[in-house]
Amino acid sequence: MKPGSSSRWSFRCTQAIRVLLLSAILLCIHWQHDRFMRRQQQLANWSDVVPVIQETLPGAESVEEINSTAPATVLDADGNALGSVVRTSPMSNHILGFSGPTDVLLVFDEQGILVATRVISSRDTQEHVQQMVQDPRFLKSLSGRSRAELLDLSNVDAVSGATLTSLAVLESVRFRLAMADPSVPGETPRGSLKFPDPPRLEDVKLLYPDAARVKQSIGNPVEWQVLDAADQSLGNLLRASPVADNNIGFQGPTDLLIAVDDAGLVTGIALGESYDNEPYVGYVREDAYFRRSFNGRSPEALAALDAGTVEGVSGATMTSQAAARSLQLTAQAFVDEQRTPGREPRTHSTRHPASQAFEFSTLFTLRNLSTIGIIFSGVVLGLTHLRSLRWLRILFQCVLIGWLGFVNGDMVSQALLLGWVQSGIPWQRAFGLTILTAAAFVIPITTGRNVYCSHLCPHGAVQQLVRRRIPWQVKLPATVQRWLNRLPTLIIAWVVAIGLLHLSFSAVDIEPFDAWLWNIAGMATVSVAIIGLIASCFIPMAYCRFGCPTGALLNYVSHSSGKTLNRRDLIVATLLIACVIVFCWP
């Protein structure tokens, strides 16, 4: 054996053990999330709401379920029926308010009349939920109605200031009761509570300037006919509402109109009424390139669209991608109705040439290509002698900050990693970011160099540029440094706890990277970014050294963790044991 080969083999084994330890922790989080989601989809547990039922039906002792959709029967101590109850969760969890679904309990008397409505829990914004619950009329206005009457709630006013949350509750109630009543055709009534009126004529005129009125087509809830002043047909519209009512942009849904010609191809789209942030909606309305990019496609092609791969509108990414998602949902609903037995399909190609190369061409958008190009340049710079060229390094840092940071906003973070570990990697919707994350981990594992932190992180690049720029530098005592060095590890342990226990804490708030998306960033992430950068002016690379859990994770799999097993590996192994205990806990 050649000299040094034994030590190299020992180091490779050490690296393999570290990768296996991390992989095992990630698998525990993923499996725990799968189990959590399965439990959420199971039948609701009534034991936790019996005390709530007793407020209305004092003699209630237990709840008996017949099946997953029918109302459950409320029984007294002798087994006599006192009434029935229905819970909107989990069947209505897909119906979102401002930021999430709400679980509502409906209590009926023996005659099937609603006597009480209670909010059990909510993943919506708490301020909006509280405002809705405290409204003296909203929930009480539902009482005294039969189940059949509750299927039509168009005459119930939403709560001012909590419009989306209260409308989502009404829609959840209506959807859940429709599922419980086999006499109702389909899954839920067709009308929209969020956009109850016909499409606005001003929006229709953007697509058909001579339009005088619109009327809904019989048999297809998303199709409308456009008529002129002489009642002659000008063409057809596909309307996103109600099928896309729960497709949220930045802060709410947007109605969307799609003009379709006689050949069944899209000729234009227009945004209608919206609950989203109006400046963002306005940006999308004014972006002709985005609106025209769907022209010439068939409904089948739009139905196959992956909205995450659509190039968004600058400054309104979430709103524009939500609009693309609404296009897909609307087209899918239209196609499904057209395929219903007894309906005559339109005479058009099932796949328009504009969508032929969709599966691959949409991966290589400007955003993805620019991110991949910056990754390649950063890796070359970080692994070759070129990194010694100061002018080239500074030039690349400026590109990194300006384009990858402010324009693309592509950075590896704990929130990103946790979401991907739990739910999977959306590589088609985030191809460039997937490549960036892969490079961040693969390169330190294979070469021992943490190239991401040194050459691919915009936040790190800013700290490098401000390092030692002012004369007042602070030298921390060794004891303080030792304690601060432990902070990233503690943050990683906290993120693992969030993932395993599904704690109601946003991992975004513990890192500064979301602050680069300045138009949607929250105060917590902005505060972390500002404090970290100010500290870096006085203490070189302060955030990278003492606050970044992602950097600590990447350093762990690089050579900086040492060539033999040490205390860091003991900490990771202890964390893995804790994960296994939590996962195995009944």
pLDDT digits (tens, 9 = 90+) for 346-373: 433 333 333 333 445 556 778 888 999 9
**Mean pLDDT, range 161-165, rounded to an integer:** 79
Kindly tell me if the per-residue pLDDT of 234 is higher than 70. Answer: yes
Residues with Cβ within 8 Å of residue 52, at least 6 apart in sequence: 105, 118, 120
Q: Quick one: which H or E segment has residue 234?
A: strand 233-239
**Mean pLDDT, range 407-435, rounded to an integer:** 83
Kindly tell me if the per-residue pLDDT of 334 is higher than 90. Answer: no
Better-scored residue on pLDDT, 23 or 248: 23
**What is the reported pLDDT for 335?**
82
**What is the reported pLDDT for 181?**
62
Kindly tell me if the per-residue pLDDT of 429 is higher than 70. Answer: no
**CA 19 from centroid of its chain's CA atoms:** 28
Per-residue DSSP letters for 40-82?
HHSPPPGGGGHHHHHHHSTT--EEE-SSSSSPEEEE-TTS-EE
Q: Which of 369, 538, 387, 367 is nearest to 454 (CA)?
A: 387
Phi first, then psi: what are they for 215, rounded to 5°? -140, 145
Residues with Cβ within 8 Å of residue 539, at least 6 apart in sequence: 473, 474, 476, 545, 546
Q: Quick one: which H or E segment has residue 33?
A: helix 5-41
**What is the reported pLDDT for 332?**
85
pLDDT band at 452 (very low <50, low <70, confident <90, very high): very high
How much is the mean pLDDT over the chain? 82
- How many angstroms separate the CA atoms of 501 and 507, rounded? 13
**What is the reported pLDDT for 394?**
94
Per-residue DSSP letters for 399-430?
HIIIIIIIII-----HHHHHHHHHH---TTTS
- How many angstroms separate the CA atoms of 326 and 246, rounded? 9
**What is the reported pLDDT for 349?**
35
- How many angstroms separate the CA atoms of 86 and 106, rounded? 5
**What is the reported pLDDT for 309?**
64
* 487-501 helix and 549-556 helix, angle to the nearest 10 degrees: 100
**CA 291 from centroid of its chain's CA atoms:** 23
Using the 8-state DSSP alphabet, how is residue 315 labeled?
T
Tell me whether residue 471 is exposed, middle or buried, using C-beta atoms within 10 angstroms of its C-beta: 0 to 12, 13 to 18, 19 or more: exposed
- How many angstroms separate the CA atoms of 179 and 274, rounded? 28
Percentage of the chain lying above the pLDDT 90 cut: 25
**What is the reported pLDDT for 102?**
87
**Mean pLDDT, range 313-337, rounded to an integer:** 80
Q: Which of 20, 9, 31, 29 is nearest to 556 (CA)?
A: 20
* Cβ count near 358 (within 10 Å): 16
Q: Which residue has the tokens 């060095």?
A: 485
- How many angstroms separate the CA atoms of 322 and 251, rounded? 11
Q: In what order do the strands lie in the sheet with 213-216?
A: 213-216, 223-227, 233-239, 254-260, 266-274
- How many angstroms separate the CA atoms of 135 and 415, rounded? 35
Amino acid type, 57: L
Kindly tell me if the per-residue pLDDT of 383 is higher than 90. Answer: yes
**What is the reported pLDDT for 167?**
85
pLDDT digits (tens, 9 = 90+) for 186-205: 444 446 767 777 888 988 89
Amino acid type, 379: V
Percentage of the chain lying above the pLDDT 70 cut: 87
Structure-token pair, residue 87 = 């819970």
Kindly tell me if the per-residue pLDDT of 183 is higher than 70. Answer: no
pLDDT band at 344 (very low <50, low <70, confident <90, very high): very low
Q: Which of 254, 237, 236 is nearest to 245 (CA)?
A: 254
Q: Quick one: which H or E segment has residue 465?
A: helix 458-466
**What is the reported pLDDT for 345?**
44
Structure-token pair, residue 310 = 């659509």
**CA 403 from centroid of its chain's CA atoms:** 23
pLDDT digits (tens, 9 = 90+) for 58-108: 888 888 877 667 788 888 888 888 888 888 887 787 777 766 788 889 999
**What is the reported pLDDT for 416?**
85
Residues with Cβ within 8 Å of residue 72, at least 6 apart in sequence: 46, 63, 64, 65, 66, 84, 85, 86, 87
**Mean pLDDT, range 319-329, rounded to an integer:** 84
Phi first, then psi: what are they for 58, rounded to 5°? -55, -30
**What is the reported pLDDT for 464?**
94
Q: Which of 230, 355, 234, 237 is nearest to 305 (CA)?
A: 355
pLDDT band at 29 (very low <50, low <70, confident <90, very high): very high
Side-chain half-sphere exposure of 443, counting CA atoms within 13 A = 21
Evaluate whether 115 touches 107 at the Cβ level (below 8 Å): yes
Kindly tell me if the per-residue pLDDT of 376 is higher than 90. Answer: yes
**What is the reported pLDDT for 68?**
67
**Mean pLDDT, range 318-329, rounded to an integer:** 83
pLDDT band at 315 (very low <50, low <70, confident <90, very high): low
Phi first, then psi: what are they for 143, rounded to 5°? -65, 150
* Helix extents (H) in 262-350: 278-286, 288-292, 299-303, 317-338
- How many angstroms separate the CA atoms of 569 and 567, rounded? 5
Q: Which of 431, 456, 572 is nearest to 513 (CA)?
A: 456
Structure-token pair, residue 336 = 């499904």
Kindly tell me if the per-residue pLDDT of 389 is higher than 60. Answer: yes
Structure-token pair, residue 8 = 């190299």
Q: Which of 133, 249, 245 is nearest to 189 (CA)?
A: 245
**What is the reported pLDDT for 358?**
40
The two beta strands, 72-75 and 62-64, are antiparallel
**What is the reported pLDDT for 43?**
42
Structure-token pair, residue 448 = 């021992």
**What is the reported pLDDT for 466?**
93
Better-scored residue on pLDDT, 343 or 548: 548
- How many angstroms separate the CA atoms of 584 and 176, rounded? 34
Structure-token pair, residue 166 = 């209260």
Evaluate whether 203 touches 271 at the Cβ level (below 8 Å): yes
- How many angstroms separate the CA atoms of 179 and 186, rounded? 8
* Peptide linkage before 242 cis (omega within 30 of 0): yes
Better-scored residue on pLDDT, 526 or 354: 526
Structure-token pair, residue 234 = 């000008």
